[in-house]
Structure 1
Amino acid sequence: IETNKNVTHDLKKIEQRVEQVTQELDVFCRIVDKQEKLIHKLFKAARHRGQQYKNLLESTAKLTSSCFTSFLESRNYTGEAIFDHQERTLSLEITPRGDEVHKDTRSLSGGERSFSTVCFMLALWEVVEMPLRCLDEFDVFMDHVTRRTAMNLVLEVAREKKKQYIFLTPQDLSFLKITPDMRILRMPQPKRTLVQINNEYYSC
């Protein structure tokens, strides 16, 4: 009889333990199921964002290249900006006025390269929003005609965008038609003096 009581007692304990473990397993399974659903949602959101990023990348590249081509045409150049997202490279192909063969920027003259750089910078500004834009010595190596074209192009874009632009240049700007929306600040010529060091004179 005593043995039967012990067996019955042990059986009840086992049943209670089984019930407890079953409840714990049920809770654990619900947690796992919830986490699996969350992971699925995260993967789905990541794929969606990845596709959105890819679309944005492609549309931005196309718009930049289109604007670059349009700005080049103001000087009767042709060309395009080629983005290779796989290789993470960018190449600019330009055909200067009168030429028939596309050139990369390394084979352009100094003035052609400077003008092409200005056009590409303006194209980038078309797709990037910023309240303040600055260019430093963008007209270096340009001849007078190219400098005039580049400056007029930059000012035209600046007026259309209603942004604040700051241009720094050591070049002559007497050809510019000053308008109320422009302000030109001219720095005075530096004062140079001769300094004697070890019986030799240096300009500073």
Structure 2
Amino acid sequence: MRHEVDLVVPVKTLDRAKTRLTSATGGDPVSHAALALALALDTVSAAVATPAVRRVVTITSDPAVAAEMAALGVESVPEPAEPGLNAALRHGAHALRSTRVGALQADLPALKPDELQAAIEAAGYRRAFVADRQGTGTTLLLAAPGAELDPRFGVGSAGHHRSSGAVPLSGQWPTLRCDVDTEADLRLAFGLGLGARTANALPAWTT
């Protein structure tokens, strides 16, 4: 049995996504939406290019996001009636109906497929997670084969996932741990090497 997983990636509607990144695009709503979309597209593109990832499904109610994901060959499922990130992830995991599922955050624009591959292999067949670079949040959660995902994202999610029995994975994996919520985060991701879409959507300070 190979270490393979199907991933759920939640993507908010672009008018609600990444509000703390407004300063990075000068407050222009069109530029902000383009940046938010680019973050998700670069993340999903890296996931699709990872050998251990068999399938990616995005959870989104934004037609523009769904159309761009379809161009990558990625299916999108509308958000469920129940609000919240964890509800969206449970909905996506059930939609996949696969042997093993995982949840990947959509704001990892520097993500390298080899780091995601290494994390999946390090998890083995355990329920496991990768914390963000601060050690408090979660960028990747993997279910054990045949088991529920049981997502517990939110403030302090790394601790919640650990308390629920998920194994913390200790690899360095800087691009997998570098989620982007603020302009400072974006500059750190830039230093790691952004995906092409995010790089193209960035303002002049990157040149």
Q: TM-score, normalised by structure 1?
A: 0.30
Structure having the larger proportion of residues in helix: 1
